[in-house]
Amino acid sequence: RGSDPDVGVFTHVDPVTHDIIVQDVTHLRKEKTGKGEVAKGGGKVTYVKGDDVLDNHGMKLKWTDFLISPDMMFVLFITDRSHQWRYSTRFNLWLYDLTTKKTVPIGGGPHYPAKTSAASWAPKGNFLAYVQDNDLYTQEPGGQPHRITKDGTRDIFNAVPDWVYEEEVFNSESVYWWSPSGTKLAYLRLDETAVSVYSFPIYNPDKWTTGLTTPYLTSTSMKYPKAGFPNPTVSAHVVDVAATPSLNLQKERLITEVTWTGADEVLLRETNRVSDRARLLRFVLSSEAILGKSVTGSVVRRDDGRTKLHLGGGWITAFQEKQPLGAMDLALQSTAYLDILPTKGGFRHLAFFANSSVEQPLFITQGEWEVDQLLHADLKRQRAYFLAASPTPSQRHVYLVGLPDITSQQTVSRYRIRPPIPLTDIHKPGWHSASFDPKGAYYILTKQGPDVPSVRVLGLDDPKFELVLQDNADLRKTLTRYVAPSNVFYTIEVGDKKDVIVSVREIRPHDFDASGQTRYPVLVNVYGGPNSQTVKSEFDLAGWHTYLATSLGYIVINIDGRGTGFRGRQYRCRVTNRLGVYETDDVVDAMREIRKLPYVDESRTGIWGWSYGGYLTSKVIQADSGMFGLGMAVAPVSKWEFYDSIYTERYMKMPSQNRAGYANSSVMISDGFRHARYLLAQGSGDDNVHFESSAHLLDILTKAQIRNFQFRMFTDSAHSISVRGAYRELHEFLIRFLVLNWGPGGLRKRSIEARMSDEERQKRDMEWVRREAAARAKEKRRASAGDL
């Protein structure tokens, strides 16, 4: 701890009183275990009493989230939060003063419905920023709100993203960034005026109560740019909190990242519309410069994704991964930063830049594996901590690596790469995440698989320090009473030259027989979208696939082929301009090898997926390979012209630039849909993959007179299909489809059956399922009674 009283300090909320408690980890260890010494200055205090936080009527405020000011004199409380899209919400904002113990609404609230869509404190002092009705405000506690922008409308978004930037670029509810000194704000302005409106009907406006469909329907209208159609216009601005004018930095193309590297320096990354060329721009911003109207940045470096691969180019992904190092201590006056970038070999690694004007990085990690996430940078100890997809892509382990000394250019020039040091056991399969104490003395390590998760606090200065926050002992004990599937991870070499590696996770029934005397149906689950991953060493006992394996006796297999992440840029970008082609080849080729396994019933193999996985499922059925007898597609894209511009054009270019690619990547009717049984399901209120994709598929299936498929629409459900009980009903629909076509799971070898009618086969299969369910229920009762 030394002289720093903030080392290892955290907050938590009493679930009964709603008191906010401040405590340090050494005191918590003493409190929970009775062991160890409390550090000097350590302890536990009630920071805010829940009974003191009252609304305008003197009633206890029902808050759900809170934000503490840097000087710890004020707390922002959030109430009445409701979701709009995937990340964006609306809420009411309240300010609590620890000195007066008074709570006041911010932004003229509370409003019903709520109007505030983003809020945060400056990193220093107690200035706050918030967005209301698409306009940006700043305010000091006790002062009046200062309206930074005044043109926010349904079409103009200031400091918050519109739908497509929220979904495909920033994955966030806000697009504004405080300078490290807390004196300036950078923000984006998005103008959707030219973007076309997409509308879909709402049959029942009540998300929870059935039977309230209205005689005349309402509708949801949203600005949604589709491939080839106008995008929102974006511009970047900076405002000095102490001054009024706003400075325009840039106004063209896509802006995909904004990073403060110092008190007065900003890096801005922009790409062209189709995301295959990028520029990193550096802006030096004095208070005098902000009084002007605009400033031109200098180009630090350019990136051309088209030249990265001899296989036909690639794309530049919209990640926001820069970590400024000098911002941690402004007295150093350093603009050094870390980023995660592909090396010449195409693998994403930690890249160090000595200052914001350096063009070429110093890579501090290397190898044929990839860094997934930068967790923490510690200047004091000269370390960077990161999460890596290593030693295999299906795992996540925590590592540390030494940092160059940013105060000495000589040290930087003499830096030598050393192998990173693992903080987790890389000799055992694992999937981890970690959160670090800002002071760098402790970290919370969460093990998320493959076995029962656990959470521990570990010491970095004191390696012997360990505090178990959650070991899930009760869950471990409960699991001994139940059966569970087993997971096997392996790879398959596919392609004409067997030079493509495909990752596989096989989920096997608890009573699995590998001898070949029992033959199992195999259901392949895919997602397959660019840079995605489904083959993970995560704990997933309560998932639907666990049910299929343990209750129905099916084998479920996840497959990650070309286009997916964490095998390098060449593997990932092979699908450029040809979505659905190589992914289909890899799934089909992998299944061809899987069908050779002695325990696989070749007559009962299928595939299913959701969203991009539903699209890939449909393309696999279209391929008519004979490898799959059924396919289940949930909320699939059927034509890329129907999907949003930024995502689609990143991988496919504009339709006018790649007409043949768009045509080949569409789902087309072939004899595959006659030879396999097909299921299609989607929610009518899907704001992401619009229902027109399913409507189009139904139209071309009808034209081709294909009738051996099942379809179900889930009224008003969005992409997650969860409105009014739809999520469970969807899975019941899928289960019934599987049972009617496959019957029970593992079956002993038997002679070839005589031909049966569909009705006879369905009656037989349902009887098998009834008997199997009864037998498994008996087995579970015996296990619960301690007989096993």
Other Cβ atoms within 10 Å of 268 Cβ, number: 21
Measure the CA–CA gap between 157 and 175, rounded to whole angstroms: 10
Measure the CA–CA gap between 20 and 12, rounded to whole angstroms: 6
Residues 6+ apart with CB under 8 A from 768: 743, 744
| Pairing mode of beta strands 518-525, 747-748 | antiparallel
357 annotated active-site: no
Measure the CA–CA gap between 353 and 282, rounded to whole angstroms: 13
237 annotated active-site: no
Torsion of CA 125, 131, 137, 140, to 10 degrees: -30
DSSP-assigned states of every residue in 131-154: EETTEEEEE-TTS--EES-----S
Phi, psi of 487 (to 5 degrees): -120, 130
How many residues are given for the chain? 788
Q: Which of 349, 397, 696, 719 is an active site residue?
A: 719
CA angle 92, 95, 101 (to 5 degrees): 135
Measure the CA–CA gap between 433 and 446, rounded to whole angstroms: 5
563: left (phi over 0), alpha (psi -120 to 50) or beta: left
Residues 6+ apart with CB under 8 A from 356: 261, 262, 265, 267, 282, 300, 335, 337
Classify residue 650 by its DSSP letter.
H
Q: Under a CB-based contact definition with an 8 Å cutoff, are residues 336 and 325 in contact?
A: yes
Q: Which helix (H) or strand (E) holds 733?
A: helix 726-742
Q: Enter the tokens of residue 240.
A: 């000095």
Question: Of 760, 776, 767, 779, whose CA–CA distance to 552 is shortest?
Answer: 776
Other Cβ atoms within 10 Å of 8 Cβ, number: 24
Residues 6+ apart with CB under 8 A from 259: 177, 266, 267, 268, 320, 322, 324, 337
Classify residue 328 by its DSSP letter.
G
Q: Which helix (H) or strand (E) holds 586?
A: helix 582-594
Q: Which helix (H) or strand (E) holds 729?
A: helix 726-742
Question: For the packed helices 612-623 and 582-594, what is the interaxial angle rounded to 10 degrees?
Answer: 70
Measure the CA–CA gap between 53 and 102, rounded to whole angstroms: 7
Measure the CA–CA gap between 130 and 238, rounded to whole angstroms: 15
Measure the CA–CA gap between 223 and 160, rounded to whole angstroms: 15
670 annotated active-site: no
Phi, psi of 465 (to 5 degrees): -75, 125
Question: Of 265, 280, 411, 421, whose CA–CA distance to 341 is shortest?
Answer: 280
Q: Under a CB-based contact definition with an 8 Å cutoff, are residues 513 and 544 in contact?
A: no
Measure the CA–CA gap between 140 and 128, rounded to whole angstroms: 6
Q: Enter the tokens of residue 94.
A: 């309240």
Q: Which of 611, 625, 645, 694 is an active site residue?
A: 611
Measure the CA–CA gap between 23 and 11, rounded to whole angstroms: 6
Question: Of 714, 638, 712, whose CA–CA distance to 673 is shortest?
Answer: 638
> Which residue in the block uniquely carries the two structure tokens 């936080």?
53
Amino acid at 591: M
Torsion of CA 491, 493, 499, 502, to 10 degrees: -50
Question: Per DSSP, which regions of 170-229 are E strands?
Answer: 176-178, 184-191, 197-202, 218-223
For the chain, the straight-line distance linking the first and the last C-alpha, in angstroms and rounded, comes to 51
Tell me the β-bridge partners of 632: 608, 679
Q: Which residues are catalytic?
A: 611, 686, 719
